[in-house]
Each structure stands twice: as structure tokens, then as C-alpha cells.
């Protein structure tokens, strides 16, 4: 998919979460990715916070209510988002 590279995922605290910023070459590429990400959310039942403008997207994956720590659930979801971007690593 058409995006410029970018930081990878950052683990952050208070609250514990995974964050990543992605910059896209154009708005259509960003919209395509948002559509795929929303489909993934519906399949997985996990809804990150997504913030975007014309050519950037910030993703924040929160821990489950009641949990204290990030788990495989969040990391696997992050990997699946990477795969939507055409990346194989996380």
C-alpha cells in the first residue's frame, strides 16, 4: 500500500497502550487503509482509537477493560494492521 515509512509501534504507559503513526502519500491510500482497518476491527472485535487528517494516521490500541498490561491480543492486532500495510514484521 502506498505510504511513506514511518515509526513502528511504541509501547506507552498510563494507560498501557500501543501507538503507531503512519504517513500516507495521498488521501485515497489513507482511506483505503482505514476501510481495511475497520473491517479488521469488526472481524476481531477490537476497536483502536484512530486519528487522521489529510495524510497521517495515528493508531492507539488500548488494553482491555479490567486488564493492567498489554497482552498478545494487542500485539497480534498490531501485527495484523502491519500486514494490511504490506509489512511482515512487528
Which residues would be at the binding site for its own copies (CB under 8 A)?
27, 31, 34, 38, 41-42, 47-54
Our CB check for its own copies shows the closer of 16 and 87 to be 16
Our CB check for its own copies shows the closer of 47 and 79 to be 47
- Report the nearest approach of its own copies to the CB of residue 79 (Å): 20
- Report the nearest approach of its own copies to the CB of residue 48 (Å): 7
Contact 2, 43 (CB under 8 A): no
- Report the nearest approach of its own copies to the CB of residue 89 (Å): 26
> How long a stretch of residues is the chain?
90
68 C-beta neighbours (distance < 10 Å), count: 9
> ∠75-38-89 over CA atoms, to 5°?
35
Distance CA 61, CA 47 (A): 8
Our CB check for its own copies shows the closer of 14 and 54 to be 54
Amino acid at each position: 500500500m502506498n505510504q511513506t515509512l514511518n515509526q513502528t509501534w511504541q509501547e506507552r504507559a498510563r494507560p498501557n497502550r500501543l501507538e503507531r503513526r503512519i504517513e500516507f502519500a495521498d488521501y485515497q491510500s489513507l482511506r483505503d487503509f482505514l476501510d481495511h482497518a475497520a473491517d479488521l476491527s469488526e472481524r476481531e472485535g477490537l476497536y483502536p482509537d484512530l486519528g487522521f487528517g489529510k495524510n497521517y494516521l495515528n493508531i492507539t490500541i488500548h488494553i482491555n477493560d479490567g486488564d493492567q498490561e498489554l497482552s498478545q491480543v494487542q500485539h497480534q492486532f498490531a501485527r495484523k494492521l502491519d500486514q494490511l500495510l504490506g509489512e511482515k514484521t512487528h
